[in-house]
Structure 1
Amino acid sequence: SKYFTIAIKENEPPLSKSFSAALNENTGNPGFAIDSFTQDAKASWQQSFVLYAGPADANILNTYGRQMEEIAERGAKWLRWLTNIFAWFLSWLHGYIKNYGVVLIILALVLKVLLHPLTHKSMQASLKMQKIQPQMQYLQKKYKDDPKTLQSEMSKLYKEAGANPLSGCLPLLLQMPIFISLYNVLRYSLDMRNAGFVLWLKDLSEPDPYLILPIIMGIFMVIQSLMMKPPKGNPEEMDDKQKAAQSSQKMMTWMMPIMMFFIFRNMPAGLVLYWTVFNIFSVIQQYYLLKHNRNKE
């Protein structure tokens, strides 16, 4: 079971260098093995063990020592500190708000506020990239046979406009460890077992049975992509590469949400709820940013 475990550990000092427990591949029954050791024939010996049967919770297992907390599934070691922070925060907030769905919505809002400066800067950079699209197309057409000069001129253009083609990737990269850590909390935390939200969502640790959340998530991803869609260039002024890039961008507007739908359909509903709400907040943020920029112009 992902929530419960049976564990056995020898007490110190062990009589042998190695003690192991594993399932028998043929019968499926648990088995135990101790490395051989030398003992006087007339002497008696005894070895005591700690047997644990209960929740696979790191905090509970830690009280038994012998590194038994390592049994608890918490994901990759390099991310456990972040997983533990999220587990603590969700548990703490749940002490005041008894609905884990509402707790996850608040978490999405808190993270959106914390990441706002970075996201705002990324969106501004994307808008700057859109504004210099005509100049970029001109340079690509002018230096299509001279890649080295094209690269140099494009770098100058980016610098003059204060644009960075890679700036939009940073918020997404920062979201990855958050996403993985939340997945581990929602998938393996005993607190999330049978934690419901509304109506059809009876267990946030399991996938949405009716796929309603993944569909809503996909819709808002499309809306967000359409809001940041650059203006269409004049086909007569575009070469084949530029036309192909525009066609590819148009396809990704629809393909990415569809792909994400199929990925998220098997994810814990709580994780999809968090990501959906985060995307909704992103659309709202994007709307006001675009409105503010239009008023400035």
Structure 2
Amino acid sequence: MDDNNKNLILATVLSISVLVGWFYFFPPPEAALTDDPNAVATATGVSPTAPVPSATATTGATASSAPAVEAKEATDAPRVAIETPSVMGSISLLGGRIDDLSLKNYRETLDADSDIVHLFKPTGAPSSYYALYGWAPGAGLGLDAVPGANTVWTAAEGAKLTETTPVTLTWDNGAGLVFSREISIDENYMFSVKQSVQNTGAGTVSLAPYGILARHGEPADLKNFFILHEGLIAMSDGELTEASYDDLVDYDFNANEGAKAEVTQVTESGWIGFTDHYWMATLIPAQTSPFKSVSKYDERRNIYQTEAVLPTQTLADGQSVSVDSQLFAGAKEWATIRDYQNEGGVQGFLDSIDWGWFFFLTKPMFAVLHWLNTIIGNMGWAIIGLTVLIKIIVFPLAYKSYASMARMKELQPEMEKLKEKHGDDRQKMQQSMMELYKKEKVNPAAGCLPILLQIPIFFSLYKVIFVTLELRHAPWVGWLKDLSAPDPTSIFNLFGALPYGVPELGFFEIFSLGILPILLGVSMWLQQKLNPAPTDPTQKMIFAWMPWVFMFMLGTFASGLVIYWIANNTITFIQQYSIMRIHGYKPDVFGNIKSGFKRKSKAEEK
């Protein structure tokens, strides 16, 4: 093999090594609860009221800033039940908070008895996380005149929020303003919230509706992995913003907000919230309405908060107004989020899934993978189907590559003569080889293209498998119950034959090889045997070790990715063997295997 191919192989190994190096030397920290329930039993300080653009129906007056409000614990407050095919939980009548929400279709682990995923938790519970709505008072109104975090709402006796029965909460401030909040939900994860106020004789008033997402401390399951974004996510007039929890802590103090905060005035088409690995909650004002988008960190309470503050409303005696908004709280299912974007009009909502720098590859790649899964009904086979489609797309380049390799084999005797002729004169040797390639119309670089294409494809598929919910707990065959996790089998318990589990090995987990990584190594080794071993000792050593190095490196990767690599190697072997045969070169696979095990003579070793 010439120096170009040698350098290319080394570059490929280095590229994969960088990825794996990140994984091993910057691993996710151990999950830990960052909340002290006693310290955070008081809810977020609500100060969502810097001026925002006035809507057409208002007079232009703006609400004054509201001071921080200490919210009481909501665990023992009266509640309204939530029950749909996708979620279950309850709404606290203290503040009217949506603060208890579980995702019925997802469990924490593969264990059938595992708890279902609990997204929202009330104040006073570890890792409290909830949505809160209210009105910020304008000129002439005090905090006690508008509903806030501690307002006790009323609901009809026996009220229950389902996909067919909305719930209405009401509160009368006793001074001429009557507030109501109608909450509905679809069969998936989208809440619709209509906030209304009627002025029955309080004089002319101005006030601004808002929505808040409050998170007490960082998530307990925060992964802090470089390939995945967790934290703030927002869309503002078509521009996506992402910030980690550390970024929010590093914000500059904003006196108007009373916390470390970033404020963005959105003209239309925006949303803001928090995204986890597989789950998300976002505030979504009406897509044609301006609003103030706020992200903040309350250092004293260790609370992360996002706000959507809608335009100030001005009401004279006898007037009323209603403002609509939405709240997404649930699983980041690709099809569901796509429908909210395409049919529900939530601009850029599909970008809430972290597609990464190679989004132009990851987005269509997952769309095809999802389509294949709907046809086949199994993500493992869908990955293999995707591999076949990718190989078909790059086949024209692969054909040229393998045809060129076959021609190179035919020219091997001529190249040996050139080596004998020029000896150690490498410059003349290179010139003679280039003349030979030109004469025979052979491109020695043609073999590089398929390898170069594999690098972005590999990284893109790695991203897709890691970040998308559809691969989580997705089974394939037999022992493979979760394609987003590494192969659970191990040589330490004879691949499950012995009645004990595999110990935690930390960094040395790479030596706990399962069935899939071993198959990967074997498939790379067999593919290598299509060609005789290089005569150069350094190249020969690199080629001899490469399959087994990759076997250990990829052994701890998601099993879905290893399945792709095995399928890719298998198809490549078949393609290369067939194309070489068509062009008159018959690869001696078994002969190359035998020569690899043949001991050198003492003369050869010297």
TM-score when normalising by structure 2: 0.40
Could you list the per-position Cα deviations for residues 156-204 of structure 1 after superposition, in whole angstroms to 9, with x for gaps in the alignment? 0111233222211101112223223322322222222211001111011
Match in the other structure for 2:282: 7
Query: Aligned partners of 1:212 and 1:89: how far apart in 2?
Result: 27
More divergent stretch after superposition (133-142 vs 122-131):
133-142
Match in the other structure for 1:208: 487
Aligned-pair Cα RMSD in Å: 3.5
Bigger RCO of structures 1 and 2 (CA < 8 A, at least 6 apart): 1
Query: Aligned partners of 2:515 and 2:439: how far apart in 1?
Result: 45
Work out whether 1:168 is the aligned partner of 2:447.
yes
AA of the residue aligned to 1:268: A
Q: 1:196 and 1:22, CA in 2 relative to 1: closer, same or farther beyond 3 A?
A: farther
Query: Aligned partners of 1:29 and 1:60: how far apart in 2?
Result: 32
AA of the residue aligned to 2:521: G
3-state SS, counterpart of residue 227 of structure 1: coil
AA of the residue aligned to 2:346: G
Contact 1:9 1:66 survives alignment (8 Å): no
Query: Aligned partners of 2:473 and 2:430: how far apart in 1?
Result: 55
Q: Any residues of structure 2 matched to 1:234-245 within 5 Å, and which?
A: none
| Equivalent of residue 144 in structure 1, options 404, 424, 428 | 424
Could you list the per-position Cα deviations for residues 36-63 of structure 1 after superposition, in whole angstroms to 9, with x for gaps in the alignment? xxxxxxxxxx998654322234525634
Contact 1:10 1:47 survives alignment (8 Å): no
Query: Aligned partners of 1:9 and 1:151: how far apart in 2?
Result: 64
| Equivalent of residue 156 in structure 1, options 435, 453, 458 | 435
Query: Aligned partners of 1:26 and 1:132: how far apart in 2?
Result: 75
| Equivalent of residue 193 in structure 1, options 458, 465, 472 | 472
Contact 1:207 1:266 survives alignment (8 Å): yes
| Equivalent of residue 577 in structure 2, options 284, 287, 293 | 287
Contact 2:473 2:484 survives alignment (8 Å): yes
Work out whether 1:75 is the aligned partner of 2:75.
no
Match in the other structure for 2:539: 249
Query: Aligned partners of 2:289 and 2:402: how far apart in 1?
Result: 60
Could you list the per-position Cα deviations for residues 234-258 of structure 1 after superposition, in whole angstroms to 9, with x for gaps in the alignment? xxxxxxxxxxxx1122112222212
Q: 1:89 and 1:146, CA in 2 relative to 1: closer, same or farther beyond 3 A?
A: closer
Match in the other structure for 2:590: none
AA of the residue aligned to 1:92: W
3-state SS, counterpart of residue 166 of structure 1: helix
Q: 1:112 and 1:69, CA in 2 relative to 1: closer, same or farther beyond 3 A?
A: closer
Please state how far the C-alpha of 1:224 moved relative to its aligned partner: 0.9
Please state how far the C-alpha of 1:29 moved relative to its aligned partner: 3.4
The alignment of Structure 1 onto Structure 2 pairs a total of residues equal to: 275
Contact 1:221 1:257 survives alignment (8 Å): yes
Query: Aligned partners of 1:24 and 1:132: how far apart in 2?
Result: 71
3-state SS, counterpart of residue 6 of structure 1: strand
More divergent stretch after superposition (205-214 vs 216-225):
205-214
For structure 1, the residue ranges without an aligned partner over 5 or more in a row are: 36-45, 233-245
Contact 1:20 1:34 survives alignment (8 Å): yes
3-state SS, counterpart of residue 96 of structure 1: helix
AA of the residue aligned to 2:277: K
Contact 2:372 2:386 survives alignment (8 Å): no
Please state how far the C-alpha of 1:33 moved relative to its aligned partner: 7.0
Match in the other structure for 1:30: 304
Match in the other structure for 2:232: none
Please state how far the C-alpha of 1:229 moved relative to its aligned partner: 2.3
AA of the residue aligned to 1:126: M
Match in the other structure for 2:368: 89
More divergent stretch after superposition (60-69 vs 252-261):
60-69
Work out whether 1:53 is the aligned partner of 2:334.
no
Query: Aligned partners of 1:121 and 1:21: how far apart in 2?
Result: 53
Query: Aligned partners of 1:114 and 1:121: how far apart in 2?
Result: 13
Query: Aligned partners of 1:29 and 1:290: how far apart in 2?
Result: 64
Contact 2:465 2:560 survives alignment (8 Å): yes
Q: Any residues of structure 2 matched to 1:91-130 within 5 Å, and which?
A: 91-130=370-409
Work out whether 1:278 is the aligned partner of 2:568.
yes
Query: Aligned partners of 1:67 and 1:93: how far apart in 2?
Result: 24
Query: Aligned partners of 1:87 and 1:143: how far apart in 2?
Result: 53
Q: Percent identity?
A: 32
Work out whether 1:227 is the aligned partner of 2:512.
no
Q: 1:28 and 1:188, CA in 2 relative to 1: closer, same or farther beyond 3 A?
A: farther
3-state SS, counterpart of residue 205 of structure 1: coil
Match in the other structure for 1:20: 294
Query: Aligned partners of 1:89 and 1:60: how far apart in 2?
Result: 17
Query: Aligned partners of 1:134 and 1:199: how far apart in 2?
Result: 49
Match in the other structure for 1:178: 457
User: Greater Rg, structure 1 or structure 2?
Assistant: 2
Contact 2:534 2:540 survives alignment (8 Å): no
Q: 1:53 and 1:21, CA in 2 relative to 1: closer, same or farther beyond 3 A?
A: farther
3-state SS, counterpart of residue 529 of structure 2: helix
Contact 1:101 1:196 survives alignment (8 Å): yes
Contact 2:402 2:580 survives alignment (8 Å): no
Query: Aligned partners of 2:525 and 2:300: how far apart in 1?
Result: 50
Query: Aligned partners of 1:199 and 1:285: how far apart in 2?
Result: 29
Contact 2:361 2:460 survives alignment (8 Å): yes
AA of the residue aligned to 2:563: L
AA of the residue aligned to 1:187: F
Please state how far the C-alpha of 1:66 moved relative to its aligned partner: 5.2
AA of the residue aligned to 2:364: I
Query: Aligned partners of 2:577 and 2:393: how far apart in 1?
Result: 19
